[in-house]
Amino acid sequence: MNKPVNNADLKNEPKNDFIRNIIREDVKAEKYKQIVTRFPPEPNGYLHLGHVKSICLNFGVAEEFGGICHLRYDDTNPTAEKQDYIDNIKTDVQWLGFEWAGEALHASSYFDQLHAWAVQLIEQGDAYVDLQTPEQIKDNRGSFNEVGKPSPQREASVEDNLKLFDDMKNGKYADGKAVLRAKINMSDANMNLRDPIIYRVMHQEHHQTGDKWCIYPMYDFAHPLSDAHEGITHSICTLEFEDHRPFYDWIVAKIGFDIPPHQYEFSRLNVDHTLTSKRKLKQLVDENIVSGWDDPRMPTIAGMRRRGYTPEGLRDFCDRVGVTKADSVVDMRLLEFSIRQSLDDTTARGMAVLKPLKVTITNFDEAVEEWETLKADSVNARFDKDSQTLWLTQPKHPNVEDMGEREIPFTKDLYIDQGDYELEPPAGYKRLSPEKSEIRLRNTYVLAVTEHVLDDAGNVTELKATIDPTTLGQNPEGRKVKGVIHWVSASQGIPATVRLYEQLFSVEDPSSVSDVHEALNPNSLTELSAVVEPSLVAADAGTRFQFEREGYFISDAVEHSNETPVFNQIVSLRDSYKPA
């Protein structure tokens, strides 16, 4: 597995991989007037993490070498494609920080030209209409150990094939009753060259062309010809298309182009515990296993955006993974490392108690009376008598002054996290327990627990404590306390829903499991009734924060409001990765 290299800074390192080296040589040889790439998704689902690498590569090399990159929808299958998918692909690409040349393109815009090229192939004797059933075509294709059997229509005349293809176009055949096949070699070792189907009958309205067509080109036919038609110089795709390249080259050569495109393959992005099959991801959506394509647990770009991942972090992740021809599985913690790196200096701080335990400060009134005389110059605070609240002013970020300041309410009743007080603490525990009663409340006083209250089941339900008035924001001489915990005012804090996430799949390779349900992690989502400081709720939906001592979170872009705050966990504060 690829593993994160801590503190590595890749921003200023030149990108160097085999595709960029090829392009450098082409530029040096002046092979093309301009480098032209494309990102060509089929709009049959939402884009996922695997597409991020392809987007970064195609748009990235075009930018690096002064070229352009097209966004083209290879929309040749109207039964699986939707306008929603088309719209979201545009949003995803732009959110990642890229812009395509001109208007977004559609393979469907070339249907007239693709049909004309299909006719050209028939006229050249390079294509024929096959009237076998789909089952017969499949059976006669042969196998790796057995050559294929030619169709009974394979040697039909050009005139007959032109007539049959025209009948297909005019709706005289039902779905599955006729196809157009390229005439190559039924004995070729490469199964993709055994007279592949290039057109099929499909009585289906298309989202772009309406009911104009009842025949549609196959992807392997439309894709290379769309590349050639657009003047693509470097057709970059993943390794599973390597065996398709001979047909790519064959069809482009048969039609004839002055400067044909060339296909280059790189290894797809495989991340552990992650599924990148649009078909299986759609199954999760259709069966309501997740809340939608943008569920924060989903490896879709929409899901990662709602989860709070940053485009900078995703681009950095792709840079760290690199571009090779060797298949590998990347450790998910490398992705989290990149996201965490992008968040540290860009997110305001705040306090949120995810599992509240009430603390009553029994000497709060006395401490406040001494506040005016004991307050340090370094402490910026004000006391509101009506609400009995000491408002503490703190920076939103300890190292970024431009983020400004926030006010934190400190009151007699507080919440700390349940995990910060243990009746029987484990070894090395440095927070509160019956044996260790003192700790610093972040940005405020040293607190000493004097009593804990138990329920009938023996669980701690409340702490009684005192604060040292001389310790507000400082450590007087001889008063050193180890350990700092976060807290939230019980009366001024805001109830909020906080969602914690684990990986959606419990198995390292969910694609290896035949039934996707068996790979699901039952603990992928945990919802907590938390309490947060007021400054967190006041922010707009889609704002990222660091919850001190808890992790990075984002106010949910869909459900968050001031009245019903909802926060999604982005990533933990620290990388759990340990070098071998």
Residue 268 annotated as catalytic: yes
Do 48 and 358 contact (CB within 8 A), yes or no?
no
d(CA 73, CA 39): 8
| DSSP percent split of the chain into helix, strand, coil, nearest 5 | 30, 25, 45
d(CA 53, CA 254): 32
d(CA 100, CA 41): 13
Half-sphere exposure of residue 490: CA atoms within 13 angstroms, side-chain side: 16
d(CA 80, CA 572): 37
User: Angle CA(504)–CA(509)–CA(511) in degrees, nearest 5?
Assistant: 90
Residue 194 annotated as catalytic: no
d(CA 109, CA 95): 26
Q: Which residues pair with 216 in a beta bridge?
A: 200
Q: Given the residues 183, 200, 245, 278, select the one marked as catalytic.
A: 278
d(CA 215, CA 88): 27
d(CA 409, CA 489): 6
Do 294 and 306 contact (CB within 8 A), yes or no?
yes
* Exposure class string for 440-454: b at 16+ Cβ within 10 A, else e: bbebbbbbebeebee
Do 395 and 492 contact (CB within 8 A), yes or no?
no
Strand, coil or helix: what is 448?
A: strand
Tokens, residue 402: 């431009």
Do 570 and 342 contact (CB within 8 A), yes or no?
no
Strand, coil or helix: what is 409?
A: strand
Tokens, residue 531: 């309490």
Do 91 and 311 contact (CB within 8 A), yes or no?
no
Residue 436 annotated as catalytic: no
Q: What contacts 113, CB < 8 A, 6 or more positions away?
A: 225, 229
Q: Given the residues 254, 268, 280, 436, select the one marked as catalytic.
A: 268
d(CA 313, CA 336): 8
Q: Given the residues 38, 42, 230, 544, select the one marked as catalytic.
A: 42
Active-site residue set: 42, 268, 278
